[in-house]
Structures are given as C-alpha cells and as structure tokens.
Structure 1
Amino acid sequence: MIGYLNALDNLGMTIFEMLAQGLGLPDDYFKKHFEEKEATMIRVNRYPPCPLPEKCLGLGSHSDPHTLTILLQDDVGGLQVLMTDNKWIGIRPVQNSFIINIGDTLEAWTNGRLRSVVHRAVVNKEKNRLSAAYFMSPSNSALIECPPELMDPKTNPKKYQPFTWGDFKKELLVQKRVVGKTALERYLISK
C-alpha cells in the first residue's frame, strides 16, 4: 500500500508540473507546496448493490475541496459529473486508467482557469462498486492565491480572496452539508 501511495504521489507531482508548464508558471509552482503530506489521504469507497438505485445515491453532489484527486474506479462505474446545462452524465470506466479531478483549491489557485467539477456517485442494482480516491492537498500554511500572470484586470480579474489550506479546512468543518462548491464560494470576490 505504501508503494502504491508513493506512486500516486509521484503521478500527482508530475501532473502539477505539467499544469504549471501549461499555465506558463515555473515547473515547481504547485508541487513545492506538497512536501509535507499532512493533508494528503486515500479513501476507499464500497457501494453495495441497491434494490432501488433510482431512489438512492452512493455519494451526493459535491466538488472535491482538495487540490487534485486521482480516482481509480472498478468496471461497474457510477461516477457522474454535472454539466453546465445542469444534466448529469456518467463517466465510463476505462480499464487501467485513473480519473483526475481538479479540486476547489486548484480552481482558486488558478483564478478559475482550471475548474473543479461537481460530481456524485450512483449505486448499481446488481453489483458492488469499488473506488479509491487519492486526495492531494498542500501543507496547512500554503497560501492559495492566484499568481498575477493568470489574472488580467479587464478579461480575468481576481476572483478569490487568498486563503491558506488550513483555513479552508476549518471552513469545511463548519459547514453542515457539502453541496456544490459551498466552501470555495465563501472566498469568491463579488463584483
């Protein structure tokens, strides 16, 4: 398990480097904040068969507050994402592959250039579903603030107030129920 977690961490660091390059930022812009592993975790979810899947969700609508999620799902499927037209679409499992989700923290860090996705998990009437999600988050003291290179006063003004991952986690703990991006919306700058 430790070897698997280390491999996921290396994959995540490679993704962070690629994202930084694609945004025109220094290669280590994101990954330098992930040296401490205090907030990185893995969660394995098992969804047993449900006789009334149309009346039950495995996991309700939410976005991941973390920076990046690396998801491994089995061949049953059940992950759905909310599209801009408010319709849910299923994400077909692809053998030997991961699903990479942008988290709310990365959305704020990039001033919305990279967007977190609202998603949910549905259950299956006849089969168990198993998924393993590796959530990558920076150190508690990491300041989540968009670099000036990703903002433009006219076309892409600053959208989020700066915050630390530690403060953001506290906000998550005080909310009653996560629906959509409620924690991230607390840092949204109104226009």
Structure 2
Amino acid sequence: MRALDKLGSTIFEMLAHGLGLPNDFFAKNFEEKEATMIRINRYPPCPLPEKCLGLGSHSDPHTLTILLQDHVGGLQVLKNDNHWVGIRPVPNSFVINIGDTLEAWTNGRLKSVVHRAVVNREKRRLSVAYFISPSSSTTIDCPPQLVDPNTNPRKYKPFTWADFRKELLIQKRVVGKTALNRYLMN
C-alpha cells in the first residue's frame, strides 16, 4: 500500500504540473489515510453473462483509483456515444481512473469515467482497486487558474470530502455521476 501511495503521489504531482499548478497542489491533501482503501473483487464464472453484471455502471467518487486487472479482464468504460468499450488487460500494468473529486477539483479539465465490470462465462476474474481520497476536511475547490468566465466558467460548488462522502451514503445506489452532479453550479 505504501508503494501505491507513492505512485498516487507521483501521479498527483504530474497532473498538477501539467495543469500549471504547484507540484504539491493535490498531493499535500493526502497525508492522512483515513479515506484511502483497497478492495479486492472476485467475479465467479457466470453461465449467463449477458444477463448479469459484476458491478453496475458508476464513476469512482474518490480522487484517484489505481486498478489491477487479472488476465481475464472485464472492465468497460462508457464512451460519449453511450457505447460500452472493454479495457483490455495489459500484464504488469495498472489502469488509472480519475475520480469525481478530481474532476471537480480541476473544473472538469480531468474527467471521471463511468465504468462497469462484466462477468465471464467460463473464467473466474479478480481485480484489485486502490482508492485514494483526501482527508475529510479537505475542501475540493478548483483553483482560479483553471477557471475562465468566458471559456471555462466554474462548474462545481466547493465541498469537503466529508460532505461528499455523506452525499454518497444518502444514495441507495450510485449510478453514473449522481453524487457529483449535486455540486454542479446551476
């Protein structure tokens, strides 16, 4: 987990640099590990995979997800044209998902992706997801450098990670970006 934290910190520094922000803009908010978690998903073979999902469509509410897929695969992302596309597993690599909080923090410059997990007819599947989130008191508010009133107006109201988690708990089922949409401006 320490290695995944280090990888996450490096990714946050690279993203901040690429957005023209101080390198520690994101990373400094992740010193407490209260909301960081790891989840191992086991999907048994399913004789009717077209009738069953392993995990329904959603976006990750966390800031960043580091995902390890096994060789079977099953991760699908929703494209803008509402078609699902499979993400082919690449041995010895991770899939990095931008989470909803990072989308809000960057005023939509980085987008969280709606995705799902499908099951396989013949093979068992495993995936390991490491979800990185800031400390509860961190305010998710895009910096002024990422807002332009004419071309890129502010899209989200500021919120804390604790408030966002409460919104997630209110929902019975996360579908798409429903929690994040509650913070849209107008």
Report TM bin, short chain: over 0.9
CA distance in 1, matches of 2:125, 2:58: 19
Say which SS state the counterpart of residue 126 (structure 2) adopts.
strand
Q: Which letter does structure 2 place at the counterpart of 1:35? A: E
150, 155, 177: which one pairs with 1:181?
A: 177
Q: Which letter does structure 2 place at the counterpart of 1:182? A: T
Residue of structure 1 in register with 2:136 after alignment: 140
CA distance in 1, matches of 2:26, 2:85: 30
Q: How does 1:56-135 map to 2 (within 5 A)?
A: 56-135=52-131
Say which SS state the counterpart of residue 100 (structure 1) adopts.
strand
Q: Which runs of 5+ in 1 are unaligned?
A: none
Residue of structure 2 in register with 1:153 after alignment: 149
Deviation of 1:88 after TM superposition, in Å, equals 0.1
2:167 is the alignment partner of 1:171: yes
Q: Which letter does structure 1 place at the counterpart of 2:170? A: V
Moved over 2 A (4+): none
CA distance in 2, matches of 1:28, 1:178: 31
Q: Which letter does structure 2 place at the counterpart of 1:139? A: S
Q: Which letter does structure 1 place at the counterpart of 2:176? A: G
Say which SS state the counterpart of residue 187 (structure 1) adopts.
coil
Deviation of 1:48 after TM superposition, in Å, equals 0.2
Tell me the C-alpha RMSD between the 2 structures. 0.3
Say which SS state the counterpart of residue 65 (structure 1) adopts.
coil
Say which SS state the counterpart of residue 21 (structure 1) adopts.
helix
Say which SS state the counterpart of residue 151 (structure 2) adopts.
coil
Residue of structure 1 in register with 2:10 after alignment: 14
CA distance in 2, matches of 1:150, 1:58: 37
Q: What are the superposed Cα offsets for residues 57-81 of structure 1, whole Å, 9 maximum, x if unpaired?
A: 0000000000000000000000000
CA distance in 2, matches of 1:177, 1:39: 19
Q: What count of residue pairs does the alignment treat as equivalent?
A: 186
CA distance in 2, matches of 1:177, 1:138: 22
CA distance in 2, matches of 1:177, 1:41: 19
Say which SS state the counterpart of residue 158 (structure 1) adopts.
coil
Q: Which letter does structure 2 place at the counterpart of 1:48? A: P
Deviation of 1:20 after TM superposition, in Å, equals 0.2
TM-score of the aligned structures, taking structure 1 as reference length:
0.97
Q: Which runs of 5+ in 2 are unaligned?
A: none
Identity %: 80
